[in-house]
């Protein structure tokens, strides 16, 4: 199956006013996001999450290497038709209401009026803004603004949805609702790339994650794989008597206890994250963020 997103040695150097290289925001990223998966980009501030998303969206040009979206160059107009994007900060017209906003974005994608009307209503219901659809966005709370941003990202019924910090600054209830929406999109076969600082959010919804630090990919894999502590095994037993417990090492097999599972215990994503960043700093305690 063809990857929905593919990065090959993808590198971005930002230059100063004189065109001299200033900093490397992304360093030879190699990554594939497969159809139908929810992929999480994790990393401290300034680690290159937004930069990689912008490269995938064709909003930035790589300094070297390549990005492919649905097998095409990110600047390809046809590819853009199939991508939805929720930026870190939504730039929405404050004087439009929710309905007008979605209609406006629908026009940008040249959707016929009938389709725009249908999608607008569906999406407003989906993100729970239908009842306030006539209210101007400047009167929206942060959570409401994030939801309309989310709906805007879906107006073209995209195959690939890129969400930059979808849950930042949201209360736990709205954040849960957005995570349910992400799970819902996945059910419908969409591919999702999202970034977050909130480790629990990533752990909740992502099939695979990548951890970036200082523009370098440090870890990639399924959440389960990454959190598995390989050198330990965990045995869960049922109906174990106190006597049998004392003899556990020798007797598990003949104690009459039922072994229900033998597996590797997990560490928390928080531990893995901090450990990864520390390792990539060579064990030194530094600022977790940008160089």
Ligand X SMILES: Nc1ncnc2c1ncn2[C@@H]1O[C@H](COP(=O)(O)OP(=O)(O)OP(=O)(O)O)[C@@H](O)[C@H]1O
When asked if residue 14 is in the footprint of ligand X (CB under 6 A), the reply is yes
When asked if residue 290 is in the footprint of ligand X (CB under 6 A), the reply is yes
Alpha carbon 21 to chain centroid distance? 29
Q: How many of the chain's residues bind ligand X (CB under 6 A)?
A: 13
**50 versus 177: smaller Cβ distance to Mg ion:** 50
Strands 160-164, 83-86: pairing kind? parallel
Q: How far apart are CA 59 and CA 67, in angstroms?
A: 12
Contact set for ligand X, span 156-175 (CB under 6 A): none
Which of Mg ion, ligand X, none does residue 117 bind to, with CB < 5 to 8 Å depending on kind? Answer: none
CB of 200 to ligand X, least distance (A): 16
**29 versus 145: smaller Cβ distance to ligand X:** 29
Q: How far apart are CA 10 and CA 62, in angstroms?
A: 7
**15 versus 30: smaller Cβ distance to ligand X:** 15
Q: How many CA atoms within 13 Å lie on the side-chain side of 202? A: 29
Which of Mg ion, ligand X, none does residue 14 bind to, with CB < 5 to 8 Å depending on kind? Answer: ligand X
CB of 103 to ligand X, least distance (A): 30
Calculate the dihedral angle through the C-alpha atoms of 188, 180, 101, 155, rounding to the nearest 10 degrees.
-10
CA angle 175/57/125 to nearest 5° reads 35
Which of Mg ion, ligand X, none does residue 45 bind to, with CB < 5 to 8 Å depending on kind? Answer: ligand X
Instruction: List the one residue from 11, 50, 90, 120 that touches Mg ion (CB under 5 A).
Output: 50
CB of 48 to ligand X, least distance (A): 4
Which of ligand X, Mg ion, none does residue 47 bind to, with CB < 5 to 8 Å depending on kind? Answer: ligand X
**Binding segment (CB under 5 A) for Mg ion, from list 24-32, 46-54, 130-138, 227-235:** 46-54
When asked if residue 97 is in the footprint of ligand X (CB under 6 A), the reply is no
CB of 53 to Mg ion, least distance (A): 8
Residues in contact with 163: Cβ distance below 8 Å, sequence separation at least 6, in sequence order: 85, 86, 150, 153, 182, 192, 193, 194, 195
Q: Quick one: which H or E segment has residue 249?
A: helix 248-251
Hey, is 179 helix, strand or coil? Answer: helix
């Amino acid at each position: 199956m063809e990857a929905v997103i593919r990065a090959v040695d993808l590198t971005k150097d930002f230059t100063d006013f004189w065109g001299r290289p200033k900093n490397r925001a992304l360093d030879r990223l190699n990554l594939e996001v497969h159809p139908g998966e929810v992929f999480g980009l994790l990393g401290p501030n300034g680690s290159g999450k937004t930069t990689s998303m912008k490269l995938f969206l064709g909003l930035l040009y790589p300094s070297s290497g390549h990005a492919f979206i649905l097998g095409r160059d990110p600047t390809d107009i046809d590819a853009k038709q199939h991508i939805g994007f929720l930026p870190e900060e939504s730039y929405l017209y404050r004087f439009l209401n929710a309905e007008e906003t979605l209609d406006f974005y629908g026009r940008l994608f040249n959707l016929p009026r009938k389709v725009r009307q249908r999608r607008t209503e569906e999406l407003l219901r989906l993100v729970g803004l239908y009842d306030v659809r006539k209210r101007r966005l400047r009167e929206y709370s942060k959570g409401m603004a994030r939801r309309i941003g989310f709906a805007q990202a879906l107006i073209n019924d995209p195959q690939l949805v890129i969400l930059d910090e979808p849950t930042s600054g949201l209360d736990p209830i709205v954040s849960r609702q957005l995570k349910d929406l992400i799970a819902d999109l996945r059910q419908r076969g969409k591919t999702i790339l999202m970034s977050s600082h909130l480790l629990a959010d990533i752990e909740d919804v992502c099939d695979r994650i990548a951890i970036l630090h200082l523009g370098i990919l440090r870890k990639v894999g399924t959440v389960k794989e990454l959190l598995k502590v390989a050198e330990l095994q965990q045995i869960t037993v049922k109906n174990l008597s106190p006597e049998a417990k004392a003899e556990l090492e020798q007797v598990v097999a003949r104690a009459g206890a039922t072994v229900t599972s033998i597996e590797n215990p997990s560490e928390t994503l928080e531990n893995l994250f901090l450990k990864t960043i520390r390792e990539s700093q060579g064990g030194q305690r530094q600022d977790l963020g940008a160089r």
